[in-house]
Amino acid sequence: MAGRGGRSATKQRARSASSTSDMLKRRHKQNKRGRDFEELATPGLIQLSVEGTGKSKQKAKALLLLLRDCSGKAKEKPSQNCLVI
């Protein structure tokens, strides 16, 4: 009966490792998706912040600041307004 306990523990560790691996893959995919979005959105927002109407300049600048604060590159703690993409 000691063998059964060993197999059960091994199966449990395998399930735990598989679950952890899946979680890390999902987190990596989410981080990559966020970086891709930031890289695609930033050039257009910069252009709007320079060449747009008054209202679009204001909104573009606000979005650029939000992207910067949420990107994890800022030295300070990310803003409460960050959205996980």
pLDDT, tens only, 26-79: 887 777 777 787 888 889 989 999 999 999 999 999 988 888 887 665 455 555
Domains of the chain, residue spans: 2-69
**Residue for token digits 């927002």?**
45
Which pLDDT value is given to residue 85? 47
Given this model, what pLDDT does residue 59 score?
92
**pLDDT greater than 90 at residue 25:** no
Cα distance between residue 65 and residue 67, in whole Å: 5
Going by C-alpha positions, the residue among 60, 62, 61, 79 that lies closest to residue 70 is 79
Which one is predicted more confidently, 16 or 42? 42
pLDDT of residue 70: 76
Q: Would you state the pLDDT for residue 3?
A: 52
- In single-letter form, the type of residue at position 30 comes to Q
Tokens of 69: 């604060």
